[in-house]
Structure 1
Amino acid sequence: MASIKIAGATLNQTPLDWTGNLDRIKKAIEQSKADEVELLCFPELAITGYGAEDLFLSYWFPQRALAQLENLVPFCTGITVAVGLPIRIEDKVYNTMALIENAELKGIVAKQFMAIDGVHYEFRWFTPWLAHEIISFAFMGQEVPFGDLTFHHKGIHYGFEICEDAWRGKSRPGYRLCQRKVDLIFNPSASHFAMKKTLERKDLIEQSSLLFDCFYCYVNLLGNEAGRMIFDGEILLAKNGELLARNQLLSFEDFQVRSFYLENKKQEIAPIQPKEWEFAQASALGLFDYLRKSKSRGFVLSLSGGADSSTIAILVAEMVKRGIDELGLDGFISKSGIPLTVQSNQPEKELVGQLLVTAYQGTRNSSFDTLHSAQTLAKSLGAKFYSWSIDEEVDSYTEKIEKAIGRKLTWEQDDLTLQNIQARSRSPIIWMLANLNNALLLSTSNRSEGDVGYATMDGDTSGSISPIAAVDKHFILNWLLWAEKNLDRPGLAAVNALTPTAELRPIERTQTDEKDLMPYPVIVEIERLAIRDRRSPLDVFYLLREELPIDEEILKGYIKKFFRLWSRNQWKRERFAPSFHLDEFNIDPKTWYRFPILSGGYQEELEQLDQI
C-alpha cells in the first residue's frame, strides 16, 4: 500500500451562512493542497452545519446545499475531498458524504444509522440508507453512484462510517467494509462535546482500527454552531488498536487541517486535558461563538458574589484570554465583530472591561461578604462593576400587594413570596443594562437548581443564555477551587470562602442552599440515577443506600423531595434560557430530557418507599 498524505479538516460552521461555510471549506482545501494532502475528509454535514434543525425538512434547503456542492466541485483540482451535506430524493432526505476527486464527483455515500438519543433527533429529518443498496443520482448533467460505496486511490481502498454508523455494535457498516478489505475508514462526525467524551472516542477509534484491520480516521465539527451544542473539532487517526495522531480540542480558529502520512507510526498526539480544563475551554469557545454569531456587543451579568455568577464571570474572562492566546489580539478583535480598542499594556483586562458589565444588586438581606466577593472578583478580571440596592423596588411591590389584600406580608406566613420578589425585582433593571449595551444577559442557574426548581422564574433564570445550566453545583464548587489555583484567578479566594446561599431571607435566619435543599453531592447522585439512568424512586433508594453513608430514613426523605420537586418544576425547565450541552447529560427538555409539565408527580412510586 502506498504511503500517501491524508488529512481531516474540522470546521466552525453556522446554519444559513452559505457564503461563510463554503469559504471556510475552500480555505481548508487550499491549506491541504499547500500541504500536499491527497485525501481530505471534512465532517458530517459540513456544507450546511449540523444544527440546521427543521430546515432539513424543507425542499429548498437541501437543494441549496446541492448547489453549494456544485460550486465546490471545480475548486477541488489535484485533490480528493469528502464533504458532508443533506440530499433530498423525492420525499426523503439523506445525510451524505460527497466524494470529489480532481474536480469530479465520483459518488455519494449515505448514512445508514441515525442518532436518536440524548441531544439528537436525526430520525425527524433523515432517512437511513440500506446496506448494499446503490442507485444512480443525477448531478450536473451526469449520473453518479449513490449509497453504500467504497473508493480507491493509488492502491488504497477506503470507505466511510458517518458518525452514528460507528456506534452501532455488530450492525455497524465497518464490518461490511472490512469484508470488502478496505485499508482506510473515515468517520466524518458531528459529535457533540461532553466532558471526557474524548476518552470514549479514543477507545472506539482504536478498537475499530484493530477490529477492521485498517487505518481509522475520525473528523468532527468545531465550535458552538447553532446555540446549544458545542463541537470539539477532534481529529484522530489509529491503526492496529493504537492511536497515531490527535489534535488539541476546542480551537477558536475557523477551521483546522490536521494532516498525516498513512503510515503505522505515531505522529503528533495532543494530550488529553483534565475535565476542568475541558469545561473552561468549551464554555469559553461556546460564549465567543454565541457572542459573535448573535452579533451582540458583550455580556451583562448580575454578579452576586456567589459560586454560579462568579463561575460565569471567570468563563467570560477565559474567553478573552484563550481567544487572544490562540488568535492573537488583532485576530480576536477582528473575529469578535465588535469595535474593541486596546490602549494599555493589559489587553486582556481592558477587553474584559469592554465585554463584561456586572452589577451587584443588594438588599437588606445581602451581606458585606458577598458584596466584597463580587467587587473583588470583578476588579481582578477587569470587568465593569456597578452596585445598587433594590430595596426600594421590593418595598414598592410589597406595599402594593399588602394594600390590595389588606394585610402585612410576614416571613412566617409568606416566606416564598418574599424571597421571590427580591429575585424578580433584580431582573428588569439588569435587562435595562443589557439593552443599553446591546449585550447578552447571562443567566446564572445551574443544573442542580434546575433539577429541583431552586430558581426564581423571571429572576435568576432571566437571560439570553444560561452558560452553566447543564453543569451540577457540586462540580461548580470544586471547579472554582481548581480555577483559583490552575487558572491563576486570585479574585476567587473570597468566593471560595463563602457558603452557597441565596441571601433572600433575613440574615438572622442563616439561609444556605443545602439547608433549603439537601447536600449537593446527594442531589448529584440522585440525579445521576433518576435522570441520566432513568431509574424509579425505589431503584434509586436501593442503589444509594449501598453507596452513601446516610441514614435510610433521611435518604428516603431526600429522594422524595427530589422527585416531588422535579415533577413540580418541569414548567420552569421549559422556560430556561438556552444552555450549552457540556456534560454527559442535561435537563433541557429541548435537547436531552423530555418530561410532562403536568403529571402525577411520582405519588404512587414514592409511597412504595414508605413500605420498605
Structure 2
Amino acid sequence: MGSRLRIVLGQLNLLVGDVPGNAAKIISNALRARDELKAHVVVFPELALTGYPPEDLLLRPDLTVRVELALGEMLREISGIDVIVGYPKRQYGKLFNAASLLRDGKVAATYFKHRLPNYGVFDEKRYFVEGTNPCVIDLQGVPTGITLCEDVWEQGPVEQAQNAGAKLMINLNASPFHKNKGKERFDVVARRARANGVPIVYLNLVGGQDELVFDGDSFVVDGRGEMTQRTPAFVEGLYLVEVDADGQVTPITGPIMPELSEEESVYTALVLGVRDYIGKNGFAGAVIGLSGGIDSALTLCLAVDAIGASRVEAVMMPSQYTAAMSLEDARFQATTLGVKYSFIPIDPMFESFLGALKEEFKGMEPDTTEENIQARIRGTLLMAISNKTRKMVLTTGNKSEMSVGYATLYGDMAGGFAAIKDVPKTLVYRLAEYRNKIKPVIPRRVFERPPSAELAPDQQDTDSLPPYSVLDPILERYVELDQSTDDIIAAGFDEAIVRRVLRMVERNEYKRRQAAPGVRITPRAFGRDRRYPITSGYGAETKNEPGGNGPAGGI
C-alpha cells in the first residue's frame, strides 16, 4: 500500500465573537484528531477563530489583539499535527480574510482570500482587502493549495494554485444554508475540480448564527468531479478523509451520507437555528402563543425538537372569536408533546381596553383596530411571561404573512425570534406533514380547516388575501426572483390579484423592518438579503389605485 495523507475535517459549531472559547474548541478537537484519528492535518472553517460572520466586530481594534493571543495559545498547545485554520489577519495596515498552516509551534504559511463576496447576506468588501498570491503547502509530500469559500465559485484562485504546483485543494468555508444549497455547492466545486483535474476537499461550518444557519455538509471530490465522501449535514464532528499520495493524488472513497429531502433539510435547519439562537443567547427556554392553527403548531414542534419539551411553554389565549376546535387542537398538541400549557382568556382585558377607549372611539365602527387590540393583548401577556421566566418568545408568523403585512405590530409580531419567518405558508403545511410522519402530534383537522386569525366573527385569511396556493408563487417571483409586475402577469397570474399583492408587499416594509430576526431558508429572506427603503416612491403608480391606502392587517 502506498502512502496516505490523513486529513480530518473539523466541521464545528462556533460562537461569533468568542475568540478564546473558539480557540479552546479548536485546540481540543485538533488534539482529538491527532490522538484518536491519527491525522496528519486537521482543517477548521473560514474565520473559525472569530466565528462567521463577525460583522462590525471586525472594526474593533481589540478583536485583532484577541485573535493574536488565541493564535499564540494554539501554537503553544498543539503539536504533532498540522492545523489549517481561518481567521481575520491584519497585515500591512490592512485586514485580510486569512487561513494559516500552523506547524511545530509556528505559522508556516498564510493565504489571503482572493474573492470577497459582497451580495446577498455577504458584506466582505466592507471589511477585507483581497489577496493576490496563491498558497501551496506540503502535506506529507502532497503539494496542497489553500483557498477560502468564494475562491472556488469563481475562476482564478484554484487555477493559480495549480499553476504553483498544487495537486490537491483544501477549501475552507462558511457557506450558509438555503433550500437546495447543497446541490448548488457540489455542482460548482465539481465543475472546478473537472476543469483543473484536481481533487478538492470542501469543509463547511455548521451551526446557527442569528438569521443564518450553516449546514456543514462538507464533501470531497476527485479530479473528475466525482464525489468520494460527504459528511452528515447539520451535525458537528470530526470526519476523516484519506488521500492516496502514492503517485497520482486521489481521494479514497469514504462514507457518502445521503442527501436530505427538501422538507427534512429545511426542518432540520429551522431546529438548529432555534436551538442555537436560544442557547447562544442564554435564554432559559421558549414560550409560544398556541392558537390551534398550523403556524403555531409547527413552531411548537420546532421548539420542542430544538431544546426539549421541559424548556418550552405553550400559552392559549382565547377570545370570544376563538373556535372550540382551536382550543381542543391546541391542548391536544401541547399534551402530546409534553410541554407546559397555560390557558389565559383575554376577553376581560379586551373589554377593559374598549372601555378605556370608549370616548376615543365614539361614533366609529369597529374595524381592524379592535382586531389588533386582541393581538397586542396576547403579545403583552407573552412578553410578561418571557420577562418573568427568561424564556424567549418565539413568534409564529410565516413568510407569506410577513410579505404582505398580514400581522400586527407589537401583537403577534412581538417576540425575540421568528422561527418560520422565511417559510412560505404552503411550505409550512409541507413541513408540518413531514413532522407528523415522525410522530403524529398535529391534529388532522388543523391541516384541513381554512386558516384564520380568529380576531373577528367567522374570519378567514382569504377574506384579506388570495389563497396561499396563488399568493406564494406570486411572492416567490416578486420577492425572491425580482420579477416585474408585467413578468408575473405574463406568467399567467390574474392582473388584479398581482397588483393587489405587490401593493401589499411595497407598503409593509416598515413592518418587516420591526420584525424579530428569523431563520433564513430561502435564497432571498427579509433582513440581510433584501434591504428596501421604508420611505420610497418606487411603485408609486400603484399606490393610488383602489385599496392602496393603509397597511394590510393593521398597523
TM-score scaled by structure 1? 0.84
- Paired residues in the alignment total 537
Deviations 1:180-231 (A, max 9, x none): 341111110111111221111122222222222112001111111x322111
Deviations 1:544-580 (A, max 9, x none): 21xxxx5xxxx11121112211111101110101111
Deviates more, 1:48-57 or 1:13-22: 13-22
Deviates more, 1:513-522 or 1:27-36: 513-522
The DSSP-based 3-state class of the residue aligned with 1:271 is coil
Q: Tell whether 2:269 aligns with 1:301.
A: no
Go from structure 1 to structure 2 and tell me whether the alpha carbon gap of 1:607 and 1:357 turns closer, same or farther (over 3 Å shift): closer
Go from structure 1 to structure 2 and tell me whether the alpha carbon gap of 1:562 and 1:164 turns closer, same or farther (over 3 Å shift): same
Q: Tell whether 2:202 aligns with 1:202.
A: no
Q: Tell whether 2:164 aligns with 1:180.
A: yes
CA RMSD of aligned residues (A): 1.9
Alpha-carbon distance between aligned partners in 1 of 2:140 and 2:362, rounded to the nearest angstrom:
88
* Equivalent residue runs for 1:326-475 within 5 Å: 351-352=308-309, 354-407=310-363, 409-410=364-365, 414-475=366-427
Q: 2:139 — aligned with what?
A: 153
CA contact (8 A) 1:28 1:257 kept: no
Q: 1:128 — aligned with what?
A: 130
Q: 2:469 — aligned with what?
A: 521
Q: Tell whether 2:553 aligns with 1:602.
A: no
5+ residue gaps, structure 1, are 133-147, 321-350
Post-superposition offset of 1:405: 4.1
The DSSP-based 3-state class of the residue aligned with 2:110 is strand
Q: 1:139 — aligned with what?
A: none
CA contact (8 A) 2:297 2:442 kept: no
Q: 2:549 — aligned with what?
A: none
Alpha-carbon distance between aligned partners in 2 of 1:104 and 1:212, rounded to the nearest angstrom:
31
Letter in 1 for 2:241: S
Q: Tell whether 2:444 aligns with 1:493.
A: yes
CA contact (8 A) 1:115 1:121 kept: yes
Post-superposition offset of 1:605: 6.7
* Equivalent residue runs for 1:565-576 within 5 Å: 565-576=504-515
Alpha-carbon distance between aligned partners in 1 of 2:152 and 2:65, rounded to the nearest angstrom:
28
Alpha-carbon distance between aligned partners in 1 of 2:125 and 2:385, rounded to the nearest angstrom:
42
Deviations 1:151-192 (A, max 9, x none): 122331111220111112x3x311222323411111101111
CA contact (8 A) 1:442 1:465 kept: yes
Q: 1:267 — aligned with what?
A: 254
TM-score scaled by structure 2? 0.93
Letter in 2 for 1:580: V
Name whichever structure is richer in helix by fraction: 1
Deviations 1:261-316 (A, max 9, x none): 44444211110111111122112222222222111111100000111111111112
The DSSP-based 3-state class of the residue aligned with 1:93 is strand
Letter in 2 for 1:249: A
Q: 2:75 — aligned with what?
A: 73
Go from structure 1 to structure 2 and tell me whether the alpha carbon gap of 1:432 and 1:177 turns closer, same or farther (over 3 Å shift): same
Percentage of matched positions with identical amino acids: 27
Letter in 1 for 2:120: G
Post-superposition offset of 1:318: 1.9
Post-superposition offset of 1:375: 0.6
* Equivalent residue runs for 1:114-263 within 5 Å: 114-129=116-131, 131-132=132-133, 148-168=134-154, 170=155, 172-224=156-208, 226-239=209-222, 240-251=224-235, 253=236, 255-262=237-244, 263=250
Q: 2:498 — aligned with what?
A: 559
CA contact (8 A) 1:31 1:257 kept: no
Alpha-carbon distance between aligned partners in 2 of 1:398 and 1:538, rounded to the nearest angstrom:
45
Q: Tell whether 2:46 aligns with 1:44.
A: yes
Alpha-carbon distance between aligned partners in 1 of 2:431 and 2:293, rounded to the nearest angstrom:
13
Alpha-carbon distance between aligned partners in 1 of 2:343 and 2:448, rounded to the nearest angstrom:
21
Letter in 2 for 1:427: G
Alpha-carbon distance between aligned partners in 1 of 2:41 and 2:68, rounded to the nearest angstrom:
21
Alpha-carbon distance between aligned partners in 1 of 2:470 and 2:130, rounded to the nearest angstrom:
41
Alpha-carbon distance between aligned partners in 2 of 1:513 and 1:166, rounded to the nearest angstrom:
45
Post-superposition offset of 1:380: 0.5
Go from structure 1 to structure 2 and tell me whether the alpha carbon gap of 1:606 and 1:302 turns closer, same or farther (over 3 Å shift): closer
Deviations 1:242-278 (A, max 9, x none): 1001011112x4x434433444442111101111111
Alpha-carbon distance between aligned partners in 2 of 1:220 and 1:505, rounded to the nearest angstrom:
48
The DSSP-based 3-state class of the residue aligned with 1:165 is helix
Letter in 1 for 2:469: P
Deviates more, 1:268-277 or 1:19-28: 19-28
The DSSP-based 3-state class of the residue aligned with 2:518 is coil
Q: 1:584 aligns with which of 523, 526, 542?
A: 523
CA contact (8 A) 1:560 1:606 kept: no
Letter in 2 for 1:567: E
5+ residue gaps, structure 2, are 245-249, 546-555
Post-superposition offset of 1:33: 0.4
Deviations 1:430-482 (A, max 9, x none): 11112221110111111111110000001110101111101111100122123
Q: 1:345 — aligned with what?
A: none
Post-superposition offset of 1:358: 0.7
Go from structure 1 to structure 2 and tell me whether the alpha carbon gap of 1:258 and 1:419 turns closer, same or farther (over 3 Å shift): farther
CA contact (8 A) 1:537 1:605 kept: no
The DSSP-based 3-state class of the residue aligned with 1:218 is strand
